[in-house]
Each structure stands twice: as structure tokens, then as C-alpha cells.
């Protein structure tokens, strides 16, 4: 069974715009991920090593912030919730290679940069939410445009990175014209405008607006466990989860990940934290905190997520998907994916 990962723990959360002092025995993380989601892991790291972890949460503008700070940037680790955003940091020259036997042993080759500029820390499968009364137990991504699902599909904006990654993977496999036709079919199958979040798909299945929806696996854990509140827990009870696959392939898995900042003032401590984040201890904490797949094969998946069945991740590497991301985004606009038509 393919495993993915789990991470987070911090000593202090700094507000956006606050300066992070570069002191000995600390690590500064700039992250687009809500710090609270990985706080238990960062706390565990500090307890084990004595190294404090400071986090700066930047919902937007991570590249602009680090670029503006230049060589004086206090950032040691740059962490994102999407592969595309991570690659953008590398392309902007804001990371540096890490040579670590620990990271290379724990993170599969398809989930890390060959040059060591980025490493996956956790994974989320792009899965199918389906109404409980539907008589299906398997599904392929290719089926999303089938006429059977006309007016029965809910999905968030086609421009959201989660969907752009899925569309880019499809294009890597089938080419531009087949992807255009596929996107047009998915658009025709929408039960309402492509908008909101993945959990809204579960909500709308429960409300009878749609029969199927595309969403990330970890949202199901948040809903099912009650972490999202009683209302969301009720939504999860009205649906089942299917791990879709590509024909002759596997399930699409996106990642959260991190890289070492180009001018990291606390280089050694930062590498130590990155290595801790892929340890079995941290991976277990990540799985418990946010219901994501560990990247390390030796780490356990949360029981709620494991109940979906064995995850066989698609063998198409993230680096093979990357060249198609921009064109996939352009196709979304060209087919007016986010414009609903009855």
C-alpha cells in the first residue's frame, strides 16, 4: 500500500508581517498551510530537540514576500499545500538543494525533486464522493465526462490548484485535445456552478443537488471525525468514498511539501526539522492531526482514511505533470468551466 505523510509542530506563531528573529537553535517556517494543522508535530520536534519553531502564515504572496526580503530573509523552510506552489518557489530561485540520506530514504523518488530542492511531506488523494444509494464501487477519472452523470456532478472551481493538478495529469496522459473534450464533458455534467470547496460537494450530495463530487480525501476525515462540526459529520454520513483511478493507472495524489530557503540562516536546524517531518513519529502525528496520507511507507494511515481501501498512487511523477499545469489552467478558461449552464 502506498503511504504518503504527516507533519507539523511549532513553538510560536507570528502574525503576518511580523519579523522573525534569526537566533541560534530555532527554525523559521514560512507556510501557506494553516500552522495549527501541524502544530502538534512542531511541538514534538521542539520537545525532542530543544529547537524552537517559529511560523509565519502567508495565505497569499509567499513568493513576493521572500523575494522582497532577499538575502536578509529570516525564512529557513518554505512550506506549501500544493505541488504547483512548491515548484513556483523553486523556479523563482528561492530554494536550495538539500543532500540528506534520511529524506531520500523516506520520500519516494516520484515525490521529491531529483536535485533536492523540494520534498513531499504529506499526500491527499483526489477521490470521488458518491451518494450512498448509488450502485457503484469503482470509478475512473475518465468517467467524469460520461453522459450518465449529466447534471449530477459537483466540483469546485476548475482554477483551484487541486483541480488544475488533476487536469494537468490528464493532459500528461492523453494530450491537449482529449483533455479539452474531457473538460467540456465535465462542465456539461455539473449540477451547479463550479465553486466553493470540496466539503461543499459533500453538503450538496446530502441535499440532493448532485450524486457525485470530486474532493480531497483528508476532508472526509475531518468531516467523519466530527472535527468539522456536527453538520459536516451529517454530510459525510450521506456519502461513500471511492478511490478513482486512471485507466491503466492509479489514483491521483497531490502533496504538501517543503524546501530549504535559499538564504536559510539556520541551515542545519532546518535540515534537522525536514528530516524529522518524514520520521515515523511525525508521519503518525500528521495522519492523526489532518487525515492525510504519509509519504513514508513505514508510517500508518489513519483508520478513517484506510477504510477507503488500499491506495495505489498513479505512477506518473509530479515532475511529469508539471509542464502541463499552465496549459491545463488555460483550457479551464477556454471551455468556460466555471460558468454554469443548465
Please check if 286 is assigned to a binding site: no
Residue 167 Cα to chain centre, angstroms: 15
Task: Measure the CA–CA gap between 36 and 7, rounded to whole angstroms.
Answer: 11
Q: H/E element holding 261?
A: strand 253-261
List the one residue out of 94, 99, 178 whose CA is nearest residue 144.
178
Q: With contact defined as beta carbons under 8 Å apart, do 41 and 282 qualify?
A: yes
- Using DSSP's 3-state secondary structure scheme, residue 120 falls into strand
CB 217 within 8 A of CB 162: no
Instruction: Give CA–CA dist 310/183, Å, rounded.
Output: 28
Distance CA(333)–CA(142), nearest Å, equals 20
C-alpha cell at 62: 509567499
| C-alpha distances in Å from residue 203, one per residue of 131, 151, 299 | 11, 16, 31
Helix (H, G, I), strand (E, B) or coil at 321: helix
Instruction: Confirm whether residue 293 is marked as ligand binding.
Output: no
30 φ, ψ to 5°? Answer: -100, 125
Residue 316, exposed/middle/buried by CB under 10 A (0-12, 13-18, 19+)? middle
Residue 215 backbone phi and psi in degrees, to 5? -155, 170
CB atoms within 10 A of CB 88: 15
Cα Rg of the chain (Å, integer):
20
Instruction: Give the residue numbers of the binding site.
Output: 218-219
Instruction: Give the residue numbers of the binding site for Fe cation.
Output: 218-219
Amino acid at each position: 500500500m502506498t503511504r504518503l505523510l504527516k507533519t507539523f509542530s511549532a513553538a510560536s506563531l507570528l502574525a503576518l508581517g511580523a519579523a522573525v528573529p534569526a537566533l541560534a537553535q530555532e527554525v523559521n517556517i514560512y507556510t501557506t498551510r494553516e500552522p495549527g494543522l501541524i502544530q502538534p508535530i512542531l511541538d514534538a520536534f521542539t520537545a525532542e530537540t530543544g529547537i524552537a519553531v517559529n511560523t509565519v502564515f502567508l495565505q497569499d504572496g509567499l513568493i513576493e514576500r521572500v523575494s522582497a526580503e532577499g538575502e536578509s530573509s529570516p525564512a529557513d523552510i518554505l512550506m506549501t499545500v500544493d505541488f504547483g506552489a512548491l515548484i513556483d518557489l523553486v523556479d523563482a530561485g528561492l530554494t536550495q538543494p538539500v543532500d540528506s540520506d534520511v529524506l531520500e530514504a523516506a520520500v519516494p523518488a516520484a515525490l521529491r525533486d531529483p536535485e533536492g530542492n523540494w520534498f513531499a511531506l504529506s499526500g491527499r488523494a483526489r477521490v470521488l464522493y458518491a451518494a450512498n444509494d448509488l450502485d457503484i464501487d469503482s470509478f475512473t477519472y475518465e468517467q467524469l465526462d460520461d453522459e450518465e452523470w449529466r447534471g449530477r456532478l459537483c466540483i469546485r472551481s476548475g482554477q483551484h490548484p487541486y483541480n488544475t493538478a488533476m487536469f494537468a495529469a490528464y493532459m500528461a496522459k492523453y494530450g491537449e485535445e482529449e483533455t479539452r473534450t474531457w473538460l467540456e464533458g465535465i462542465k456539461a455534467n455539473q449540477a451547479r456552478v463550479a465553486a466553493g470547496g470540496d466539503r461543499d460537494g459533500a453538503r450538496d450530495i446530502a441535499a440532493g443537488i448532485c450524486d457525485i463530487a470530486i474532493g480531497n480525501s483528508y476532508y472526509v476525515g475531518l468531516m467523519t471525525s466530527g472535527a468539522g462540526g456536527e453538520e459536516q459529520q451529517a454530510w459525510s454520513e450521506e456519502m461513500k468514498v471511492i478511490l478513482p483511478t486512471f485507466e491503466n493507472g492509479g489514483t491521483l495524489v497531490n502533496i504538501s511539501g517543503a524546501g530549504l530557503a535559499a538564504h536559510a540562516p539556520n541551515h542545519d536546524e532546518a535540515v534537522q526539522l525536514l528530516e524529522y517531518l518524514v520520521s515515523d513519529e511525525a508521519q503518525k502525528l500528521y495522519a492523526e492531526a489532518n487525515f492525510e496520507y504519509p509519504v513514508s511507507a513505514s508510517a500508518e494511515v489513519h483508520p478513517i482514511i484506510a477504510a477507503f481501501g488500499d491506495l495505489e498512487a498513479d505512477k506518473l511523477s509530479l515532475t511529469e505533470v508539471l509542464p502541463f499545469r499552465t496549459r491545463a489552467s488555460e483550457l479551464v478558461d477556454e471551455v468556460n468551466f466555471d460558468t454554469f449552464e443548465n
